[in-house]
Amino acid sequence: MNQYTFSGTAKTVTIGAMIVGVVSMLLTWFVGADDLQSRFWSNFLHNSTFFLGISMMAFFFIAVCITAYAGWASVFKRVWEAMSANMLVGFIFMLVIALTTYFHWNHLYHWADAAAVAEDPILNGKKSFLNPNWYLFGTIIIVGTWVVFGRKMRSLSLDEDEDQGHDFAKHRSMRIWSAVFLPIMGFSSAAMIWQWLMSVDAHWYSTLYAWHAAVSWFVAMICLTILLLIYLKSKGLYKEVTNEHMHDLGKFLFAFSIFWTYMWFSQFMLIWYANIGEETTYFLLRREEYPILFYANLAVNFLIPFFVLMRNDTKRKLGSLAFVSLLVFIGHWLDFFLMIKPGVKITRDDHGHMAAHGEEVVHGAAEHGIHESVASSFEVGYTIPGLLELGTMIGFLGLFFFVTLTALSKAPLIAKNDPYLDESLHHHT
């Protein structure tokens, strides 16, 4: 079978998951304790950026493989093509965030508050980057570019299936599109990550932040690829995807989990070592107020893949691969939680504080982790993911798989005219 049909249980489960997500989001909205709905919006931002990044990374990896003459994965490259169809979904979600920020219907970002910016010399200095206009237009231009590249690549790949001769003209054209995409992605992903994620902590900055977040996306993408392939194999599809391919995906998961840790450590250690108050506040807050997530992040995203996947055989067995992929996927979702929620919480608390006391509060004090009124307060949805966060994630994941499987069912599973297909079918590690 070279064709996937999306029906039956798969459809029911993904739609069910989406319903769970919608219900969770509605509940979040209606049980929301504050009138800013920060819990709802931060969940929305968390999952939108996370899944948009994963789909962009799937496309990025296709581009990398083509540019690097890597042939081993071409047997299942349609899976990545299908995953990258989610860029359009992510684009729409980010547009929602950008528009609601533009119209001040959410309060995720401290810098979006013009009154606060006027008071604050540091935020005032960042005004020409951190402002709702650029947030909106930057998102449209950059994510729009990703979507255009993704669709172009997909259509070239489908056209290639129709080719009769062996001149590989389509492949050459794909190579050009891929090569051009790489530097665009290199610059633009950083700009987006600063804007969407780092600016949640509007005062804080770190040059490595964007690379760390991007690697997080990449690892999560590999996890979902492994899980999806295992699912498709369980349905009797992709018999050509052998243990050899899974082994290589396992190696990528292993290697890039270490690479992620390298990024995490480089950022943490340098900030810890230099001990500059403006910088340490970020990690101090997370270590003191979020100790479980802070250490679980390292344990799940480093220790588990490192020790489980170190052996040869665990990378070749679907059970152990699925186990690690699932855990690490959740681990990176938690990493994003930890990147977003503390900043959002401070922004919300400051806003509440101002409203309650009718006076301006210097925001910087809160970001330095010494905000007296909120210190050590435990709050589901902010300091730890609750059921609603989980439900929202399940909803986004359901949508992600729904879109992926729909795209997958639109084309043959194997791109039969890919120039590396023969190599990939006979791949052995």
Partner 1 sequence: MSGHVSPIRPPLVTGNKTYHQITEDLISPTERVPSKAWILGLILSVSVFSFGAFCILWTIWNGIGTWDLNRTINWGWDITNFVWWIGIGHAGTLISAILLIFRQKWRTGVNRAAEAMTIFAVMCAGLFPLIHMGRIWLAMFIFPYPNTRGPLWVNFNSPLLWDVFAISTYFTVSLLFWYTGLVPDFASVRDRAKGLRKKIYNFLSFGWTGSAKHWQRWEYLSLILAGIATPLVLSVHTIVSFDFATSVIPGWHTTIFPPYFVAGAIFSGFAMVLTLMIITRKILGLEDYITIEHVESMNKVILVTGTIVGVAYLTELFIAWYSGYVYEQFAFFNRAAGPYWWSYFGMMFCNVLSPQLFWKKSWRRNIWLTFFMSIFINIGMWFERFVIIATTLARDYLPSSWSYYSPTWVEIGIFVGTMGLFFTLYLIFCRVAPVVAVAEIKAILKTSGNQYVGPDAQHQHPKDVKVESEPNHTSI
What is the closest distance, in whole angstroms, from the C-beta atom of residue 420 to partner 1 in the complex? 5
Q: Could you give the CA distance from residue 79 to residue 232 in angstroms, rounded to a whole number?
A: 10
- Residue 262 interacts with partner 1 (CB under 8 A): yes or no: yes
∠ CA 334-221-303, nearest 5°, is: 50
Interface with partner 1 includes 165 (CB under 8 A)?
Answer: no
For 3-80, strand residue ranges (E) read: none
List, as one string, the DSSP characters of 115-164: HHHHH-HHHHHTTTTSSHHHHHHHHHHHHHHHHHHHHHHHHHHHHHHH--
Residue 201 near residue 367, CB atoms below 8 Å? yes
Closer Cβ to partner 1, 34 or 423, answer by number: 423
Residue from 115, 164, 236, 273 binding partner 1 (CB under 8 A): 273
Nearest CB to partner 1, comparing residues 8 and 121: 121
Q: To the nearest whole angstrom, how small is the minimum distance from the Cβ of residue 209 to partner 1?
A: 7
288: how many CB neighbours lie within 10 A of its CB?
A: 12
Shorter beta-carbon distance to partner 1: residue 112 or 210: 210
Q: Is residue 3 involved in binding partner 1 (CB under 8 A)?
A: yes
Binding mask 49-88 for partner 1 (x = CB under 8 A): ------------------x-xxx-----------------
What is the rounded distance in angstroms from the CA atom of residue 76 to the CA atom of residue 72?
9
Contact between 419 and partner 1 by CB under 8 A: the answer reads: yes
Is 122 near partner 1 (CB under 8 A)? yes
Beta bridge partners of 380: 384
Helix H or strand E segment including 306: helix 304-308
Interaction between residue 125 and partner 1 (CB under 8 A): yes
Compare residues 99 and 425 and give the one whose CB is closer to partner 1: 425
Angstrom distance (rounded) from CA 89 to CA 381: 24
Q: How far apart are CA 210 and CA 60, in angstroms?
A: 16
Residue closer to partner 1 by CB (options 119, 423) is 423
CA torsion sign for 321, 327, 330, 336 is: negative
Both ends of the chain: CA-CA distance in Å? 25
Report, in Å, the least distance between residue 426 CB and partner 1: 4
Helix then strand then coil, % of the chain, to nearest 5:
75, 0, 25
Nearer to partner 1, 59 or 238 (CB): 238
Give the single-character DSSP code of 412.
B
Q: Any contact of residue 166 with partner 1 (CB under 8 A)?
A: yes
Q: Which part of the chain contacts partner 1 (CB under 8 A), choosing from 110-118, 229-237, 272-280, 337-345?
A: 272-280
For partner 1, the closer of residues 2 and 234 by Cβ is: 2
Nearest CA among 157, 185, 180, 188 for reference residue 170 = 157
263 is an interface residue for partner 1 by CB under 8 A: yes
Least spacing, CB of residue 359 vs partner 1, in Å: 24
**Residue placing its CB nearer to partner 1 in the complex, 205 or 294:** 205
- Convert 57-87 to b/e letters by CB count within 10 Å (16 or more is b): bbbbbbbebbbeeebbbbbbbbbbbbbbbbb
The minimum distance between CB 133 and partner 1, in angstroms, equals 17
209 binds partner 1 (CB under 8 A): yes
Q: Select 81 or 120, whichever has its Cβ closest to partner 1.
A: 120
Work out how close the CB of 311 gets to partner 1 at its nearest, in angstroms, rounded to a whole number.
13
Which of 121, 165, 236, 358 binds partner 1 (CB under 8 A)? It is 121
Residue 380: phi, psi to the nearest 5?
A: -60, 135
Q: Build a one-symbol-per-residue string for 178-207: x at contacts with partner 1 by CB under 8 A, - elsewhere.
A: -x--xx--xx--x---x--------x-xxx
HEC assignment per residue over 113-124: CHHHHHHCHHHH
Residue pair 49/94 in contact by the 8 Å Cβ criterion: yes
Which residue among 171, 245, 345, 368 contacts partner 1 (CB under 8 A)? 171
How distant, in Å, are the alpha carbons of 19, 78, 411 from that of 16?
Answer: 5, 25, 25
Nearer to partner 1, 208 or 296 (CB): 208
- C-beta of 266 vs 406, nearer to partner 1: 266
Which residues are paired to 384 by β-bridges?
A: 380
What is the contact surface with partner 1 in residues (CB under 8 A)? Answer: 1-3, 67, 69-71, 121-123, 125-126, 129, 166, 168, 171, 179, 182-183, 186-187, 190, 194, 203, 205-211, 239-240, 251, 258, 262-263, 266-267, 269-271, 273-274, 276, 278, 412, 414, 416-417, 419-423, 425-426
